[in-house]
A and B are shown apart, each in its own frame.
Chain A
Amino acid sequence: MKNYILDKNFLKPFLRKVMKKERLIAPIEFNKDIIFDFIDEIDEITTNFTNSIISPKRFFFPQSDTILEYEKTSHVKVQPIVSYERRVIFGIRSCDVYGLLNLDKFYSLGYEDIYYLQRRENVTLINLVCSDPCENGFCIYAKSGPKAEVGFDLQFTDLGDKYFVEVGSVKGEELIKIAELFFSKIIEKDEERRFEVVLKSKSCFSHLYVDLQDAALKLKNNLVSENLWQELADRCQRCGGCNYVCPTCTCFDVVDKDIEGQRGRRVRLWDSCVLGGFTRLAGGYNPRSRIEDRVKRKFYHKLSYEIEKFQATSCVGCGRCTTVCLGNIDTASVVRRIVLGE
């Protein structure tokens, strides 16, 4: 596919054109945090950020998502609520692009999940290469960053006064066609500069090596002592924070909520596998009532089971669980301890 140059002065005009055609999602500053949100004003967008505190998975699998509405009149009527809105996400990071690739496999395996897959089909992703890696990320070891090799529709690398633009798909090519005049041809020097930017970024990771593959192998071969799970269990605050911020956690609950009178909606909500009631049955029986078992299964799932199923761990190294975990039992720390044979 082709590459282009976009002068930084043209970024906003380009995104403005995009906004006229599709719903734009981009990073904004909110109470000193960075979040991805729907954009109404182009000036809200910031490009001065490492990554958002919550992954953009919520635009595909929202924290709270009405999946259908029902009306209990003489006959019950059920109306599915599926979003077909065409959207563009600007500024997504490589790790989160790989997160979506993982979700794509999960939601299309076996029974297809229309709520996720429709949103996914209708989105165009503009990935922003990290020239200055985030604090806790270890994408470099998860092979998911700081630059993406696949999964993006357009990928921007910051060359100072301009962006190096890679086209990754037909969708990306079509987005450029919206404002072709803003994009110019690359010259050889641009390629070199991009190479340097990525190389420099790769050398800036402060993180110690996080060997996901080795940890997964040790789990598979049961080379982890029960003491480790016991200690992790003691440290786990059972808040579910790690699951909520993670770009690849998928578990959900479903509840009905009355709207008024005989109308109501069925809502799917993020759930967390470390919470005590996660596996509890209506009669009270709870097969994973022990926190040790819940924490243990969480890591087996993220690392070992996912390799068996999808040939890759579902940890993409975004480092968000490191940022939020109150007990310091984030994936990076746990992987390191597993590898050390603690």
Chain B
Amino acid sequence: MKNIYLPEIAVIKDIKEEAFEIKTYVLEFLNKETKTKFTFNPGQFIELSVFGFGEAPFSISSSPYRKKNIEICVKKAGSLTKKLHELKIGDEVGIRGPYGNGFPVEKLRKKSIIFLGGGIGVAPLKSLIDYLLKVENGYKEMYILYGAKRPKDIVGKENFSFWSKKAQVYLTVDVSDKSWKGEVGPVTNLLPKVSVKAKDCLAVLCGPPAMINAATDRLREIGLFEENIIATLERYMKCGVGKCGHCTIGNKYTCIDGPVFTSKEIKELDKEF
């Protein structure tokens, strides 16, 4: 019997400062076999061990096409992430996974896609966007709308300029400063820039609950089908394998049935507790 709670050791290969208190970690498994065998779908997550500080879930932000290593994006929030922010290149962590359902990539094929991300919510979207850019007929057209609190909170500026060659990219901030020449306001304000055939369009959302709710309402107004609005939900996913109970919503387990749900499913879950 496999021990599902046993992490594999991985080494931090690189650390990038992405934004204020947000860093990207490039992680590579020490074990050669694990390194070659590890595969995942965009939208799946790992349980990361910082030994002495426990485990926490993180979405994988790199593309599945990228072999050798994976990336996660980490915001300083609790004691584990605080410790992680102190770690250096060469330090070792533990990884279990990948877990969760991931995004429905087949459903996105040849479709117009609106990506809507807020703050660190761009991490799982990045995995999906990079994947779709590479896969044949992955999409028809792409809009990437992203909002951060302040300009210095924008996660991964160079990703957006890279994506803007293939997709229409719009950024906004809640609070601007002198350096900022772009839009100001919530990310949903960027939706009028999108011109798509609503029936043929899917939206993929990731961000704080309030953003997801607001964006879902607006997308429905412009005519997107509920089953075509897709979002990742944030819950306390302690074990990742449907055992610890922390991530439950009604009779669903976010770690197994999710974390990716359609807005139709979320509407049902909202009635739950």
Contact = CB atoms under 8 A, between A and B. Distances in A.
Q: Do A and B come from one complex?
A: yes
A75 B10 CA distance: 10
Nearest to B79: A282
A256 to B, nearest CB: 5
A114 B81 contact: no
B85 interface: no
**Chain B interface, DSSP helix/strand/loop, else mixed:** loop
Interface in B208-257: 208-209, 234-236, 238-239, 241-251, 256
B94 A78 contact: yes
A253 B9 contact: no
A313 to B, nearest CB: 13
B53 A111 contact: no
A109 B234 CA distance: 24
A282 B94 contact: no
Contact of A287 (B1, B55, B56, B249): B249
A271 B245 contact: yes
B54 A297 contact: no
Contacts of A253: 238, 244, 246
A280 interface: yes
Contact of B81 (A107, A282, A285, A297): A282
**Chain A interface, DSSP helix/strand/loop, else mixed:** mixed
Interface string A246-275: 000011111110100000101010010100
Contacts of A117: 1
A280 B51 CA distance: 22
Contact of B243 (A72, A118, A252, A290): A252
B4 interface: yes
Contacts of B241: 110-111
Interface in B27-49: 30, 49
Contacts of B71: none
B4 A112 contact: yes
B4 A111 contact: yes
A68 interface: yes
A237 B81 CA distance: 32
Contacts of A252: 239, 243-245
Contact of B1 (A72, A114, A258): A114
10 contacts: A70-B51, A110-B256, A111-B4, A111-B241, A111-B242, A258-B52, A280-B236, A285-B209, A287-B235, A297-B272
Interface of A: 67-68, 70, 72, 75-76, 78, 80, 82, 106-107, 109-115, 117-118, 250-256, 258, 264, 266, 268, 271, 273, 278-283, 285, 287-288, 290, 293-294, 296-297, 300-301, 304-305, 308-309
B248 A297 contact: yes
B207 to A, nearest CB: 12
B273 interface: yes
Given A110-B256, A308-B251, A251 B246 contact: yes
Contacts of B234: 281, 285
Nearest to A278: B246
Given A78-B7, A251-B246, A279 B235 contact: yes
Contact of B78 (A114, A282, A301): A282
B247 to A, nearest CB: 8
B1 A118 contact: yes
Contacts of A280: 236
Given A75-B9, A112-B2, A282 B56 contact: yes
Interface centre among B4, B249, B272, B273 (most CB of A within 10 A): B273
Interface in B1-34: 1-7, 9, 30
B77 A251 contact: no
B198 interface: no
Nearest to A67: B5
Contact of A293 (B78, B93, B236, B273): B273
A80 B242 contact: no
Contacts of B246: 251, 253, 271, 278-279
Contacts of A70: 51-52, 94
Contact of A72 (B7, B51, B54, B239): B51
Interface in B161-193: none
B5 A271 contact: no
Contacts of A293: 273
A256 B249 contact: no
Interface in B129-158: none
A76 B9 contact: yes
A304 B235 CA distance: 22
B80 interface: yes
A68 B5 contact: yes
B77 A80 contact: no
